[in-house]
Structure 1
Amino acid sequence: MVTLRDEFHARLDEFRPEYGFWEQDEVIRSLANTGELLDLIFVGDEAAMAMALLEKIIAKGTREDWEPLRLGDTKPDLNWRETWDRIDGWDASSTPPFLDDLHELNAFANFGIMTIWDIHADSQDYLEVRHMKERFDEAKNPPKWVRKVCEKIERFEALVGRGGNGKYELTYLPALREQALARIKLDEGEPLTVGELASLSGVSIKRLQNAIYAQSEGAPSVSKKGLIAPEACARWLNERDYRWSIWREVAAEYPLKVSWGEQTELAPPDPLKEHDDYVFVPVAMDGSIFSPHLGRGSARDRFTIGPKGEEVQVEGFGEAVERLLRMETPRWRRPNPESGRWGIVSGQSWKRVRRSELEALA
């Protein structure tokens, strides 16, 4: 039996050595923009002095901690650009709550957990720290917490300078924000964009698009609106070792005690859809398939199939597929992707598709 606690610790043990504090480096290194602004405005060593002082100040958490630093003895850092280009965001700072939030958000986005679950309600040493106590309480409702942190990231992005191409110079923060929000959408049963599914599965958008276009085995089906239903994402994600979120199960254990989750068996996640059945459908030359969304009429359950001059109207998707299977060359009417005009296409091959994926296209 795999318990909820076992699964949590297995993921936590995998996350900790893999995490490289990339987002923290990006946040702290972006403060170099302060020096660039000063260097643009002033002509002396103002930027060099300010950045030398800033390096000392961010290493301490409160104003009282600045006193022993003897800031007045600080010398200008004439190589401040090199200093801030390689500064360690975690070790060189007082690890303010925002940086801690990014660490937590990365664990959630990639492993579907929150590291603070490792702290139980009796851990007074940790929970006496205000932001730790707040996050421990908020970890019962990760979607709300994730959206709050992602709003902070958006504000941060807006404040950071842009590169010459007009885009943000940030790399890791926007990617983490998109991945975390995509996980929440999937958890809450919302359809995903191709970009969001690519983010969750750790592949490039181009690779996923190619798989979808080629109708590769396991590739998800995309609706007319360009969205992918949660059920259609399952196989693609499972084949890439996606960790389905367990926050609902953990929330049921609150308030977390020392032995939380040790007696709770972790059932396979619903998105696996092991019971889902399959349907063989014809595939046209352009890669499109015969699917329920081609139904017409008031009930959208009437399909036109057969060669030109011998077309018939068939009620029900299942009956239409059965008749197409009996044809030497399956033919059906569907709207042209560009003009929208309905025309006849011929099937070139057959594809095995989950019924839930077909229903998502309707």
Structure 2
Amino acid sequence: MSERRYADISAEERMEWFHESYGNVLDGGRTFECILLALGDYLSKLAEAASADAAMAALLNDWLGAEIRDASEWRTYVSDNSSMFFSAVGHGPVMHNLLAYAEYGIVLPVEGAAGDWAEHIQAMIDQVDAFWQATPIKQWGLEELDEIGPLLTWAKGRWALDNNEPIEPAALARLGNVSERSIRNLMSKKDKGLRSENGKVLASDALAWLRVRPDYWDSIWQRQEHDDHEQAAEPVEDAYVFVPVSRDGSIFHPGLRGANGYRVGAKGSERDFDTFEAALTHLHALSHPYWRRQNANGAWVIVSGIRWERLSERELSDFADDPERRLQSVL
């Protein structure tokens, strides 16, 4: 890597890097667990603790199909299943895609957005920002646990430079992989420093400083073609998707096609889909994922998911080739 500047790496390679390293830097999904626990604490101040527990258990049962029978155990459920909240909450996938833009300067394939990347990026920022602004992060004492705010700072900073606007020092520090203090020291220099305007660094100075840094990921989303994204959106070996995982570690995968296709949904409201992709999309839309798979006797039984896992197309193929394969982390 020392022989190549980050700026020389293509969008396709950056996508691979992003998928392989996701969760190592920032993951807004981790903040959802903290928000739910804080919400329960707030309700316990508003009403009696038993009533607050009942309300939180009812919410999780209805929203995620948690099947919490003892309301006092809802906190344990949240802690044990925190990884699934990222997919269950509608803002989660948006935060996932926004991080790819903030960190690598690219846009991930999204149906209906190809060819209008600027509007798409602005919409992602606005959606995540609205959610974050509506969440009482400071009031509930979640500042140190908040990963949504830093994500927004990063994305807004890149967006400012992409539009030739001044950038916040904290955002420039993120893009340049240095401390905010280092940026402010450069801003305080009269000669060969970073010129500022109303506390922000001028775009021209920020970009000039970033471009000489070998570890700076420049924005290349403007050069990503519509056709490239259509191709990337097709199932490929290194593409990643979120799939439901059952209590025994089995997952929903392409090898579960029956005579009528992929059957998903709760008993009494099941639907058949011709393709794995269509069935998975329907599972994402359900409040709780259910699907059919064959048991050891060859009978098709309903399986209930307890969380979601991000897996590559290659990993899905491994499950399809081995019906008895399980995710060991769940067992």
TM-score, normalised with respect to structure 2: 0.56
| CA apart distance, 1:245 | 1.4
How far apart are the structure 2 equivalents of 1:37 and 1:223? 41
1:295-350 deviation per Cα after TM superposition (whole angstroms, max 9, x unaligned): xxxxxxxxxxxxxxxxxxxxxxxxxxxxxxxxxxxxxxxxxxxxxxxxxxxxxxxx
User: How many Å separate the matches in 2 of 1:240 and 1:152?
Assistant: 32
Residue 233 of structure 1 aligns with which residue?
A: 206
Q: 1:81 to 1:240 in 2, by over 3 A?
A: farther
Q: Contact conserved, 2:166 with 2:197, CA < 8 A, in 1?
A: no
Identity of aligned pairs, percent? Answer: 21
Q: Which residue pairs with 2:269 in the alignment? A: none
Q: How many residues are treated as equivalent by the alignment?
A: 225
- How many Å separate the matches in 2 of 1:233 and 1:44? 51
- The offset of 1:103, in angstroms, is 0.2
RMSD over aligned CA atoms reads 3.6
2-side partners of 1:224 and 1:151: how far apart? 24
1:114 and 2:123 are equivalent in the alignment: no
1:161 correspondence with 2:141: no
- CA 1:41 to 1:228, structure 2 compared with 1: closer, same or farther past 3 Å? closer
Aligned 1:77-226 pairs, distance under 5 A: 77-78=72-73, 80-81=74-75, 84=78, 86=79, 88-92=81-85, 94-116=87-109, 135-163=110-138, 171-213=146-188, 220-223=193-196, 225-226=198-199
Match of 2:38 among 33, 37, 40: 33
| Separation of aligned partners in 1, 2:195 and 2:231 | 45
Task: Give the deviation of 1:150 after TM superposition.
Answer: 2.4
> 1:103 is matched by which residue type in structure 2?
H
8 Å Cα contact 1:157/1:168 also seen in 2: no
**Counterparts in 2 of 1:178 and 1:143: CA distance versus 1, 3 Å:** farther
Native 8 Å contact 1:105 1:180 kept in 2: yes
Describe the shift of the 1:57–1:215 C-alpha distance in structure 2 as closer, same or farther (beyond 3 A): farther
Q: Which TM-score applies when normalising by structure 1?
A: 0.52
Report if aligned partners of 2:97, 2:108 keep a CA contact under 8 Å in 1: yes
Provide structure 1 residue ranges, at least 5 long, that are not aligned to the other structure: 60-65, 117-134, 261-362
Partner of 2:55: 50
Partner of 1:14: 17
Q: C-alpha offsets along residues 184-232 of structure 1, whole Å, 9 cap, x if unaligned?
A: 121122232433322322322212112343579xx64304654433332
The 1-side partners of 2:94 and 2:139 are apart by 30
CA distance in 2 between partners of 1:52 and 1:6 (Å): 47
SS of 2:72's partner is coil
In structure 2, distance between residues paired with 1:38 and 1:244: 45
Q: Is the 8 A contact 1:191 1:229 kept in 2?
A: yes
Cα–Cα, structure 1 residues 198 and 248, in superposed 2: closer, same or farther, change >3 Å? same
| Structure-2 residue corresponding to 1:348 | none
User: Which protein has the larger Cα radius of gyration, Structure 1 or Structure 2?
Assistant: 1
Query: What per-residue deviation string (whole Å, max 9, x for no partner) do you get for residues 85-112 of structure 1?
Result: x455442565343100000000110001
